[in-house]
Structure 1
Amino acid sequence: DPDSGQLITGSFMDYCMPRADDLPSYDLGFTETSCPSNPLGIKGCGEAGAIAAPPAVINAITDAIGTEDIAMPATPQVVWNALQANAKQAAE
């Protein structure tokens, strides 16, 4: 409701879900472009999901152990060394 700010479609019973016949008609088209830097002409597609995840994990680790920075990959030894450095710095 615009006046009170209350949600008036609180469940799927109150909300008209779109169906297949509500979608517009469309035509699909494809354009193939070979990669000139690969002898097979193919392009990689599996690395896109690793853009934000590793830095987010490192940020979570540094926040959890209370350090400013650790190097990737965050192996158990790297995390342990960062913990020991923090403990040594706190003792000084």
Structure 2
Amino acid sequence: MRRPRLAGEGRQALLDEILPVLVDTGIKDEMVGGLLRNTIGMERLRAAVAQAAGRLPGDNGHLAMLDNSSSSLRQFTPDVLKRSASPVARAPRRSWRP
């Protein structure tokens, strides 16, 4: 039993078919689009466009990841700051010396 192609694998195979046509200098520029549509087929091209996943932002999603992970900091930091400002927290500490 053959496993179905994953979307990324199908798009990669499509790219492998498109690139040789694009770099072939023997094919005139005005012929490339028609050649690709006729050999690959519009149905397959449309399916590849439909499977396109959204691209990550320029930071590769790091800012969103930081935003999500810092939600607990935003939640607990005010309480930590309040407690650190209490008189008990500000009491001088004696250094221990042997």
**TM-based fold match above 0.5:** no
Q: TM-score range by the shorter chain?
A: under 0.3
Question: Over alpha carbons, which structure has the higher Rg?
Answer: 2
With the length of structure 1 as denominator, give the TM-score of the two structures: 0.25
Going by fraction, where is helix more abundant, 1 or 2? Answer: 2
TM-score by length of 2: 0.24
Q: Which has the higher contact order (CA 8 A, sep 6+)?
A: 2
